[in-house]
Structure 1
Amino acid sequence: MDRIDAMRAFVTVVAEGGFTRAAERLEMSPQLVSKYVSQLEQHLGVRLLNRTTRKLHLTEAGTRYHQRAQQVLTEIDDMEHQLGDLQTQARGLLRISAPVSFATHHLAPLLDDFQRAHPAVGIDLQLNDRKVDIVEEGFDIALRIGRLKSSSLIAKRIAPVRLVLCASPAYLKQHGTPRHPEDLKTHRYLRYSYMEQEAGESIVRWLPGRDQHPSGDLVSNNGDVLVAAAIAGAGIALQPTFISGAAIQAGKLRIILPEHEPEPMSLYAVYAHRQLLASKVRCFVDFLDGYFGTPPYWDQFDQGETAESGQAGK
């Protein structure tokens, strides 16, 4: 016996005043409705209804059980409606993990626009450059930058992430503009801690190693610090344009060796399940798609803004 079905059959019989009308409402046979009520009485060990040829009467136990059963079924229906709303309407708390610099530069307007479109969704944004375990740590979605390896997670590509070598005009004027990747070995390199493992080969193999300039390198796990150092004339940085693009557009940094630019990485939205995906997650992923433009707005600067186009290398 399904106790919920039996409880619902009993409450409907009381509401309709008989087994036949209850059966019509529940879209089942009167015999099955009667069976459910009899099984419920046997399970409880009490009589709930006194049956006559013309009318049904609740017993004392039946009256008490009916009141509580109505409450239980109402709560169950409310719970199911609420859970259904979570699947059909974007609501609830959305927990997001995102890289520090990307979120600092580009997420605030997006989150504001998203919540204006979906006011029933709350946002819990946690910034961390490490790759969080979204299932173990309770995140609904993570934004990740790099070249993703195969996993059980679902990943949707949101935007390309362009990496450029850049330095300030003052630095290039003082130290010269590299014309070939081999020239980088004589320059001061502003090293991002995780760049080599993300950027792959190409230009990375020409960059000074950790042991080549032990007293000259600046190493940081934060790209904003390195871009600020490059603007100040501290050296050459390999950084994504979502951090360096504004400085390049303003002329504070110049791109060098553009023909040796690494293959772009990507920004991904990563989440755990494709089936029964909560509406808040699905709506957020859909909202991300195309939001930053094609190409992304941080790449919409003059492509000729390189050291070769300026006077710094002369």
Structure 2
Amino acid sequence: MDRLDAMRAFVTVVAEGSFTRAAERLAMSPQLVSKYVSQLEKHLGVRLLNRTTRRIHLTEAGTAYHQRAQQVLVEIDDMEHQLGDLQTQARGLLRISAPVSFAIRHLAPLLSDFQQAHPAVGIDLQLNDRKVDIVEEGFDIALRIGHLKSSSLIAKRVAPVRLVLSASPAYLKRHGTPQRPEDLGSHRFLRYSYMEQESGESVLRWLPGRGQHHDGDMVSNNGDILVEAAIAGAGIALQPTFIAGAAIKAGRLKVLLPEHEPKPMSLYAVYAHRQLLASKVRCFVDFLEGYFGDPPYWDRFE
């Protein structure tokens, strides 16, 4: 048994969630992948995976071995890449998870510039507003928005994320401009359904007199929809300036109660290991630093 091949087969099965998909990724037969994992279990003297007809589950021993095996394979790949390239050029496929609205509006130029600087790196960008499990789902790095909480992951702050209340001039002409937070109780509010999870505070607590449901409110899990609804005059939205900033600068939205803004959040780059970090991940994290400016270019509307 080639122990490294067996280790790579095991790690790939865990990442892909099945022997068949792992075999496709490794360009070998499912039978050979299964043989490698079985030989590895026999060599270690423990069961690493519990197999059912629908999915696989890591055993306690498998979980511990998986974490160390990933580190070993990353270190070996990185060492080989560095020895093969005296300039330690980043290479390989970089799997990134990012929030939907932020990625659509701001990531394409960054990724293009990054690949021009590191042409040997491929990009697999997956957009999702939920917090993915980086290790279990096989991502190298995730961009997350919120307040930093304790975690076993490494997080690097990339940019501040400012939240502003805004509404269209037409809406404010019809319904009046709130002068204090208490005035918001009579207005239609366009609510982002993930806001409490991301901001670490309840927006409803921040808005006096509002219950969980209010006639005329709109709720969505996408901030772009809510900003476009605000532009159309549907109500007042509390959204990050990386979405609303362009409309504010163009005069299609007006910032309300700026002295009562919630505590700013941040955009973080989150990854699994500080040590044994692959060159592609290290280069991408370094590339992010300062890219969006200070303050970020989307905040330059005042």
Check whether TM > 0.5: yes
Partner of 2:32: none
- Matched with 2:282 is 282
Q: Does 1:102 align with 2:105?
A: no
Deviation at 1:209, TM superposition (A): 2.7
- Name the structure 2 match of 1:224: 224
User: How many equivalent pairs are there?
Assistant: 224
The answer (yes or no) to whether the contact 2:78–2:279 under 8 Å persists in 1 is no
Contact between 1:92 and 1:120, CA under 8 Å: does it hold in 2? yes
Instruction: Among all aligned residue pairs of Structure 1 and Structure 2, give the percentage whose two residues are the same amino acid.
Output: 81
What is the rounded CA distance, in whole Å, between the counterparts of 1:181 and 1:139 in structure 2? 41
Q: What residue ranges of structure 2 are gaps of 5+ in the alignment?
A: 1-75
1:240-298 deviations in whole A, cap 9, x for unaligned? 00000000000000000000001100000000001111110000000000000000000
Q: In structure 1, what is the equivalent of residue 80 of structure 2?
A: 81
Check if 1:210 corresponds to 2:209.
no
Q: Cα offset for 1:210?
A: 2.3
Distance in 1 separating the partners of 2:118 and 2:217? 46
Contact residue 202 and residue 260 of structure 1 kept, 8 A: no
Contact 1:89 1:279 in 2 (8 A): yes
1:193 aligns to what?
A: 193
Alignment of 1:1-314 (within 5 A): 81-82=80-81, 84-85=83-84, 88-201=88-201, 204-207=204-207, 208-211=210-213, 213=214, 215-302=215-302
Describe the superposition over 1:207-252 as per-residue Cα deviations: whole angstroms up to 9, x where unpaired: 33322x1x41110000000000000000000000000000000000
Considering only aligned residues, what root-mean-square deviation do their CA atoms show, in Å? 2.1
1:66 — aligned with what? none
Instruction: Report how far residue 133 of structure 1 moved.
Output: 0.4
Give 1 or 2 for the bigger CA radius of gyration. Answer: 1
Q: Secondary structure at the match of 1:88?
A: coil
**Secondary structure of the structure 1 residue equivalent to 2:263:** coil
Scaled by the length of structure 1, what TM-score is found?
Answer: 0.68
Q: Which amino acid aligns with 1:178?
A: P
The answer on whether the counterparts of 1:185 and 1:206 sit within 8 Å (CA) in structure 2 is no
Q: CA separation in 1, counterparts of 2:78 and 2:118?
A: 22
Residue type at the aligned position of 2:234: A
1:148 positional shift: 2.1
SS in 1 for 2:205: helix
Task: With the length of structure 2 as denominator, give the TM-score of the two structures.
Answer: 0.71
Q: 1:109 to 1:172 in 2, by over 3 A?
A: same
Aligned-partner Cα distance in 2 for 1:120–1:272:
22
How many angstroms apart in 1 are the aligned matches of 2:164 and 2:288?
24
User: Secondary structure of the residue that 2:290 maps to in structure 1?
Assistant: coil
2:13 match: none
Rounded to whole Å, the distance in 1 between the matches of 2:186 and 2:77 is 70
